Amino acid sequence: MTTYRTVEVDGIEIFYREAGPADAPAILLLHGFPSSSRMWEPLLTRLGDAFHLVAPDYPGFGHSDTPDPAGFAYTFDHLAEVIDRFTGKLGLTCYVLFLQDYGGPIGFRLALAHPNRVQALIVQNAVAHEDGLGPLWETRRQFWAHRAEHEATLRENFFSPAATRLRHVGTSPTPENYDPDHWTDELAFLRRPGQADIQTDLFFDYQTNVASYPAWQEWLRAHQPPLLVTWGRYDPSFEAAEAAAYKRDVPDAEVHLLDGGHFALEEQADQIADLTRKFLVAKPGGSPAA
């Protein structure tokens, strides 16, 4: 059974979804853009029998509070600090990190800050190498270099119905398998007052993630965490070559290219849940009862 709760962190109400026994191995699920913890519902219902799953919404996303950007810095450093304190509020002292899209930058910041807390790493279309950034990112790099000149174009792309749909369907040969409620609900959140400013500021800060890739790669090489990569091959945002790039840092990583898009759980929930369960049972210290 999934529960829906909030907890106050630094005066901000953080919404989160939770499933599974509190004393079971914990999985911290960190969502992407422009999604929320809702994207993890397929895993909450499939893995809650054996794992303690916790999926928060970041400030400015989903059902969490949306502080005014005049007084709250929408940067990945700051969001990671809030989620770090969120884990403290919930007493999560060790966990598996499950990262998707924006969850990658937030999760790697947690890993670098608290390496001993990370029992394993699961990556689903989250980038830590330049391999994942294809031609689409050239215009985005122009926005980082010359924000004033390119901001209007970026906003038109990021917040349009067509772009929001494309983030889900991508190049999938079976677009009929994707529920349009996913992107129409996201559009409703994106159209709330202040969202365009918040998300534009946050994406401008995305350049700090690219600059941090070498540090994240070094962390992977130094710590060799048990690593599972489940990659949707039809992702329009990130190149599939990124999946294999993780094996340069963690040679024993388990990598799977799936017939899915950026949000691969929408099409391959059973497969990802099965891969996750088997991976966590097999990893050192995994529970045979899971």
Query: For the residues of 77-98, what is the DSSP string, one character each?
Result: HHHHHHHHHHHHHHT--SEEEE
- The Cα angle at residue 218 between residues 212 and 222, in degrees rounded to 5: 150
The two three-digit tokens of residue 153, written as one number: 């174009």
- CA 8/CA 85 separation, integer angstroms: 10
129 is catalytic: no
**Considering Cα of 42, then 44, then 245, then 82, what sign does the dihedral take?**
positive
Candidates 183, 30, 44, 17; CA nearest to 102 is: 30
Q: Are 87 and 28 in contact (CB under 8 A)?
A: yes
- CA triplet 66, 67, 73: central angle to 5 degrees? 115
Say if residues 238 and 264 touch (Cβ distance below 8 Å): no
Residues carrying an active site annotation: 262
